[in-house]
Structure 1
Amino acid sequence: MEIAALITWLVTAVGGFYMLGTWIARGGVAQQKAGESRLPAPVLFGHFLLAAAGLVVWIIYLFADAHGLAWLAFALLVPVALLGFVMLARWIPVHRARVARLGSGPAAAGAPVPAERHFPVAVVAGHGLFAVVTVVLVLLTALGVGGS
């Protein structure tokens, strides 16, 4: 179960890196400062940094087999998940506006396009699904379910 958690965490990270890279490449930082992006940079980067820290702790746990590290990794995942839900809630209206705009013809000329509008739905959904599985696997491991 520990290795399964590592694998799902890594798959989740790949999706997260893709979205973070897309957001940065599409000008998300500048847009956030200008109020055009709905994803606050502190939330996005906090989510990334806590998730990365948790992954490092999990890898150390796999080598050290120190039970407290499994709980620390889980504790780091709690705010990661909360920040992820915040970003999802802020991304959904952007996605809906894109879908509505596609159905009504060309976009207004000069209207700013939020960087997060370029996130593929499959990547967002896959990232979320693998994240939930990761949290569950880490919790089950920390609880000692399935042996260690």
Structure 2
Amino acid sequence: MDIAALVAWVVTALGGFVLLARWISRGGLRQQQTKTTRFPAPLVFGHFLLAAAGLVVWIVYLAADRVGLAWAAFGVLVAVALLGFTMFARWLPVYRTATPATGDDATPAERHLPVPVVAAHGLLGAATLVLVLLAALGVGGS
């Protein structure tokens, strides 16, 4: 279960990195001043940094086999999931707008996020959360 959680976390992180790079490349940071984007930079980078920190804690747990570290990683992952769900809730109205995404700064950067990557990132994130919880509970052994 521990290694399955690690693999799920790493694959989820790769998808998140793709989304982050796409958001930045489409002007997400520039749009902070004009409030065009619905994603505040602290939300985006908080999600990213907490997820990375939690992954480091999980790797340390795998090396040290201390159950307290597994629970700490789970706690961080819950916060990451809440931030991710917040971004998803802010992304949905932008995605549902009838106007197609254009290359100008009037289009929110998150409008350019690929739907399959968003969906896979969210589903893998949920699976990671469950796998980490199961591992912390000791299901499946260490």
TM-score band by shorter chain is over 0.9
How high is the TM-score relative to the length of structure 2?
0.95
Of 107, 112, 117, the residue aligned with 2:111 is 117
1:77-129 residue CA offsets vs partner (Å, 9 max, x unmatched): 111000001000000011001xx224xxx97xx67011111111000000000
Q: 1:111 to 1:54 in 2, by over 3 A?
A: closer
User: What's the % identity of the aligned pairs?
Assistant: 65
Q: 1:135 to 1:34 in 2, by over 3 A?
A: same
2:5 corresponding residue in structure 1: 5
Runs of 4+ in 1 over 4 A off after TM superposition: none
1:44 corresponding residue in structure 2: 44
Aligned length: 142
CA root-mean-square deviation:
1.7
- Per the TM alignment, residue 33 of structure 1 is displaced from its structure 2 partner at its CA by 2.2
Letter in 1 for 2:114: P
- Per the TM alignment, residue 43 of structure 1 is displaced from its structure 2 partner at its CA by 0.7
Of 126, 132, 138, the residue aligned with 2:132 is 138
Counterparts of 1:72 and 1:49, CA distance in 2? 15
Letter in 2 for 1:68: G
1:8-41 residue CA offsets vs partner (Å, 9 max, x unmatched): 0011001100010011111101102210000111
2:99 corresponding residue in structure 1: 101
How high is the TM-score relative to the length of structure 1?
0.91
Structure whose CA Rg is larger: 1
Unaligned runs of 5+ in 2: none
